[in-house]
Structure 1
Amino acid sequence: MGSLQLKSVRKSFGPVDVLKGIDLDVKDGEFVIFVGPSGCGKSTLLRIIAGLDDATSGNILIDGSEVSAVPPAKRGIAMVFQSYALYPHLSVKDNMGLGLKQAGAPKAEIEARTKKASSMLSLENYLARRPAELSGGQRQRVAIGRAIVREPKLFLFDEPLSNLDAALRVNTRLEIARLHRELKATMIYVTHDQVEAMTLADKIVVLDGGVIQQVGSPMELYNRPANLFVAGFIGSPAMNFIDASRLGRSDATTIGVRPEHMALSRESGEWTGRVVHVEHLGADTIVYLDSEKAGLLTVRLFGEHHYEPDEIVHATANAGQLHRFGDDGKMIR
């Protein structure tokens, strides 16, 4: 079992409130990802769950038991850090088994768990090597293996892929997804990368300013963002926001439309604008245009399209894909 409950968790550093009352339920076996901009409180919240920081107030329950006063080693959690945190003088095998050795586990048990974890992570051929002899991706796999051998109730990941290059990030992301399916373990993962969040999570928790803005599945957040912040944070390129009064609409304060839900034409369309810049990405073409009526717009087109800076074009939004937001920034249902 590995359920987690957070009840009114607050954290202050002097007069600064970093977390302003976090309530969250994580079910056993869920993959939950915390996302948000720098300083939103996501890493602080993870450290409080791990016991590395104390909450100012509130309750933390793992499998229904209050753990706020329980030291990190007794909480049944294992944490994977951004920096790997491997001992350079120890082999891969010894790094992976060190936590069990320090806990007094029998040698045969350490051997069996290390063997199982190294097989899951394709590290069997590297067990005798030291961290300096490994690539960044291999070191991160060792750090994940060190967590697996402990068979924790909760796996906590603190931006584990941020030190890897783009190709390694993709490969390691796939490995983490596979491990979640195989282990059926509860995983809580912090990242600022929304692609990681959208591709890995069962449930995403969007934080800003120490407050949960929305909790939901990746597609719930994409299709039904609760407010302007979530709408602008989830999705790449970001959603276009248009002052509704400029469009002559009185049913909302702001109209949102995602770049991929717009079409371009040289003949006619809803909003006329001048092309400012074009990004050719191969699979996609991103066109930025300055429209007098709607302001700066971003349009994402599938495939290769040829538009030139200063060209006059016409953009049209898919009427069924418009999002309406009120004065308070919340989505109008």
Structure 2
Amino acid sequence: MGSLQLKSIRKAYGSHEVLKGIDLEVKDGEFVIFVGPSGCGKSTLLRTIAGLEDATSGSVQIDGVEVGHVAPAKRGIAMVFQSYALYPHLTVKDNMGLGLKQAGKPKAEIEDKVGKAASMLSLDPYLARRPAELSGGQRQRVAIGRAIVREPKLFLFDEPLSNLDAALRVNTRLEIARLHRSLKATMIYVTHDQVEAMTLADKIVVLNAGQIEQIGSPMDLYNRPANVFVAGFIGSPQMNFIDGARLGDKNAKTIGIRPEHLGLSRESGDWKGKVVHVEHLGADTIVYLESEQVGLITVRLFGEHRYAPDDIVYATPMVGSMHRFGADDRVLA
């Protein structure tokens, strides 16, 4: 079991309030990702769950048991940090089994658990090596393996891929996804990278300035953002935002349209504009155009398209793809 309940969690440093009343339920076996801009409180919230930070007020419950006054080591959690935090003088095998050794577990049990975790993470060839002999991705897998052998109720990941290069991030992301399916464990993961959030999570928690903006599945947040902040944060390239008055909408302060929900033509369309920049990415072509009707907008086209700066083009939104937001920046029904 590994359920988590957070009730009215607040955290303040003096007069500065970092968490402003967080309520959240994580079900056993869920993969939940906290995402948001730097300084939004996501790492502080994770550390509060782990017991590395004390909540100013509120309740943290793991499997229905209040753990606010329980030491981190007794909470049944394992944490994987951005830094690998491996002992340089110990082998991979000893690094992975150190926590069990310190807990006084029998040698045979340590051997068995380390062996299973190493096999799961394809670390068998490296068990006799020391961290300096490993790549960044291999070191992070050792850190994950060290967490696995403890068989925790909750796995907590604090931006574990941010020190890896792009290719390693993709590979390690796949390994973490496979690991979650294999262990059927509860995982809570912090990242500022929305691609990680969209590709790994069962449920995403979008945080901003110490508050939860929206909770939902990746496609819930993409298709039905609750407000302008979530709409702009989820999706790449970012959603286009247009002043409602420019489109004659008297009720909507802002109208949003995703770049991939716009079509482009040289002959005709709803919004005439001039191309100001084009990004040729192979699989996609990103076109930026300036229109008198709606201002600067971004269009994402699938595949390669031969547009160039100063071309005159016409953009047309797909039917039913507009998002309307009111004066309070919340979505309009």
TM-score by length of 2: 0.99
1:129 deviation in Å?
Answer: 0.2
Paired position in structure 2 for 1:35 = 35
- Between stretches 305-314 and 197-206, larger displacement belongs to 305-314
Whole-angstrom CA distance in 2 between matches of 1:136 and 1:243: 46
Whole-angstrom CA distance in 2 between matches of 1:13 and 1:240: 37
1:310 deviation in Å?
Answer: 1.4
Paired position in structure 2 for 1:323 = 323
Aligned pairs for 1:90-129 within 5 A: 90-129=90-129
**1:66 corresponds to which letter in structure 2?**
E
Corresponding residue SS for 2:21: strand
Whole-angstrom CA distance in 2 between matches of 1:14 and 1:290: 47
Q: Does 1:285 align with 2:262?
A: no
1:174 deviation in Å?
Answer: 0.4
Whole-angstrom CA distance in 1 between matches of 2:105 and 2:76: 15
Q: Give CA deviations for 1:216-263 in whole Å, capped at 9, x if unaligned.
A: 000000000000000000000000000010111123111100000001
Q: Give CA deviations for 1:263-316 in whole Å, capped at 9, x if unaligned.
A: 111111111111110000000000001111101100000100011111111111
Corresponding residue SS for 1:321: coil
Aligned pairs for 1:1-333 within 5 A: 1-333=1-333
- Between stretches 67-76 and 264-273, larger displacement belongs to 264-273
- Between stretches 169-178 and 247-256, larger displacement belongs to 247-256
Q: Which runs of 4+ in 1 moved over 2 A?
A: none
Whole-angstrom CA distance in 2 between matches of 1:190 and 1:227: 21
Q: Give CA deviations for 1:182-206 in whole Å, capped at 9, x if unaligned.
A: 0000000000000000000000000
Whole-angstrom CA distance in 1 between matches of 2:15 and 2:273: 47
Whole-angstrom CA distance in 2 between matches of 1:206 and 1:45: 12
Whole-angstrom CA distance in 1 between matches of 2:114 and 2:166: 28
Whole-angstrom CA distance in 1 between matches of 2:326 and 2:46: 33
**2:188 corresponds to which letter in structure 1?**
I
Whole-angstrom CA distance in 2 between matches of 1:94 and 1:305: 54
Corresponding residue SS for 2:219: helix
Q: How many residues align?
A: 333
Whole-angstrom CA distance in 1 between matches of 2:292 and 2:69: 59
Q: Give CA deviations for 1:70-93 in whole Å, capped at 9, x if unaligned.
A: 000000000000110000000000
Whole-angstrom CA distance in 1 between matches of 2:5 and 2:84: 27
1:319 deviation in Å?
Answer: 2.4
Whole-angstrom CA distance in 2 between matches of 1:167 and 1:251: 45
Whole-angstrom CA distance in 1 between matches of 2:120 and 2:5: 29
Corresponding residue SS for 1:176: helix
Whole-angstrom CA distance in 1 between matches of 2:77 and 2:235: 31
Instruction: Among all aligned residue pairs of Structure 1 and Structure 2, give the percentage whose two residues are the same amino acid.
Output: 80
Q: Give CA deviations for 1:98-136 in whole Å, capped at 9, x if unaligned.
A: 011111111111110000000000001100000000000
Q: Which runs of 5+ in 2 are unaligned?
A: none
Whole-angstrom CA distance in 2 between matches of 1:287 and 1:103: 58
**1:24 corresponds to which letter in structure 2?**
L
**2:29 corresponds to which letter in structure 1?**
G
Corresponding residue SS for 1:268: coil
Corresponding residue SS for 1:300: strand
**1:258 corresponds to which letter in structure 2?**
R
